[in-house]
Amino acid sequence: MQDPHVDPSLDLEEEILRLKKERNAVILAHYYQDSEVQDVADFIGDSLQLAQAAKKTQADVILFCGVHFMAETAKILNPDKVVLLPDLDAGCSLEAGCPPEKFRRWRAQHPDAVAISYINCSAEVKAASDIICTSSNAEKIVASVPKEKKILFAPDKNLGRYVMKKTGRDMLLWQGSCIVHETFSERKLLGIKTRHPDAKIIAHPECEDPLLAMADFIGSTSALLKYATESPANEFIVVTEAGIIHQMEKAAPGKTFIPAPPNANCNCNECPFMRLNTLEKLYVCMRDMSPRLEMPEALRAAAALPIERMLSLS
Ligand code: 13P
Ligand code: SF4
């Protein structure tokens, strides 16, 4: 969706905050949002923290600055609240790469297996799964499954492979990946490391194996932020979506954060879906109370079960 036409004389931050009060709304934002979007949010977090924040909010309206599956999760957990997403086209390559019908057929071929799905999937895939995980609790969720049980893990093959290594559990992996995390170049990362030998390489587990093998630390966005803040090192090469660097620089102003370079000369270390949410769209969304997340109650209730299982284990 194109940016809507908005009166250029408006102070958008001020307007958004005024409307937020008027509507008793809360603004939740993922670390991959533009910094100006992060700066108007009440809460910024990773996928798990955002689901937890959505579950416990007292607000009447949740304005979700993230991608579709995240806002959908907030709606699944809050059927009676209004959940807004500034751009409904803010999808995810992992979600798109796991069509529900194909997923259900895969499941049906392994009736005795436990199906663990990464939260980056549609409500329909969640509804057909036993338990959901995020990048910050995937190891814990996998380890909670009895040893004798076969596990299906979808849709991110890179996170799945990483968790297999960490837990020693064998899993059948859906062959999906994130278009942002698979774009990082091993060769260019080596080049940067050579120029910054003291920098710590920190990477998200959605990255491919050869990049993870070069990392000093691997974790979810919130874990990367915590590591960068608490580590005695002063320089970090950040191998994930570059939006996270905004909070890193705020939390550790004296340190240097270098975004890992993608393969081509592009800004493809920015998620094109996350970046669809602009301040203009946020304002219009809050003003018009649209677009909203809606779904049939039967689907919502079925998708809520595996999410609640995850939340009770987290
Ligand atoms: P986390 O929020 O769990 O770190 O995952 C990152 C991501 O790619 C979200 O789409
Ligand atoms: Fe999906 Fe990757 Fe964007 Fe996260 S960064 S929303 S996994 S496409």
User: How far is ligand 2, taken at its centre, from the CA of residue 181, in Å?
Assistant: 8
Give whole-number Cα distances, 256 to 82, 199, 220, 249, in Å: 40, 9, 20, 8
Pick the ligand that lies closest to the CA of residue 136. Answer: 1
* 206 in contact with ligand 1, CB cutoff 6 A: yes
* 67 in contact with ligand 2, CB cutoff 6 A: yes
Note the pLDDT of residue 248.
98
- Closest ligand 1 atom number to CA of residue 134: 3
* 117 in contact with ligand 1, CB cutoff 6 A: no
Q: Does domain 186-259 have CATH number 3.40.50.850?
A: no
Q: Summarize the chain as % helix, strand, coil (round to 5).
A: 45, 15, 40
Taking the C-alpha atoms of residue 307 and residue 277, their distance in angstroms, rounded to an integer, is: 25
Taking the C-alpha atoms of residue 152 and residue 160, their distance in angstroms, rounded to an integer, is: 9
* 164 in contact with ligand 2, CB cutoff 6 A: no
The two three-digit tokens of residue 48, written as one number:
């798990």
For the domain bounded by 12-90+274-294, which CATH number is listed? 3.40.50.10800
For residues 87 and 37, the answer to whether their CB atoms sit within 8 Å is: no
Beta partners for residue 201, in sequence order: 237
* 120 in contact with ligand 2, CB cutoff 6 A: yes
Q: What ranges do the domains of the chain cover?
A: 12-90+274-294, 94-177, 186-259
- Closest ligand 2 atom number to CA of residue 178: 2
Taking the C-alpha atoms of residue 252 and residue 261, their distance in angstroms, rounded to an integer, is: 22
Q: Does domain 94-177 have CATH number 3.30.310.50?
A: no
The pLDDT profile of the chain, 314 residues, written as one tens digit per residue, is 778 888 889 999 999 999 999 999 999 999 999 999 999 999 999 999 999 999 999 999 999 999 999 999 999 999 999 999 999 999 999 999 999 999 999 999 999 999 999 999 999 999 999 999 999 999 999 999 999 999 999 999 999 999 999 999 999 999 999 999 999 999 999 999 999 999 999 999 999 999 999 999 999 999 999 999 999 999 999 999 999 999 999 999 999 999 998 877 777 899 999 999 999 999 999 999 999 999 999 999 999 999 999 999 98
Q: Write down the pTM of the prediction.
A: 0.96
Question: Is 15 strand, coil or helix?
Answer: helix
User: How far is ligand 1, taken at its centre, from the CA of residue 22, in Å?
Assistant: 31
Ligand 2 pocket test target in 179, 183, 224 with most atoms within 8 Å of CB: 179
Domains 94-177 and 186-259 share a fold: yes
Ligand 2 pocket test target in 30, 73, 119, 120 with most atoms within 8 Å of CB: 120
Taking the C-alpha atoms of residue 111 and residue 90, their distance in angstroms, rounded to an integer, is: 33
Residue nearest to atom 6 of ligand 2 (CA): 92
For residues 203 and 181, the answer to whether their CB atoms sit within 8 Å is: no
Pick the ligand that lies closest to the CA of residue 90. Answer: 2
User: How far is ligand 2, taken at its centre, from the CA of residue 180, in Å?
Assistant: 6
Note the pLDDT of residue 49.
97
* 177 in contact with ligand 1, CB cutoff 6 A: no
Task: Give the DSSP letter string of 66-105.
Answer: S-HHHHHHHHHH-TTSEEE-S-TT---HHHHTS-HHHHHH
* 46 in contact with ligand 1, CB cutoff 6 A: yes
User: How far is ligand 1, taken at its centre, from the CA of residue 308, in Å?
Assistant: 19
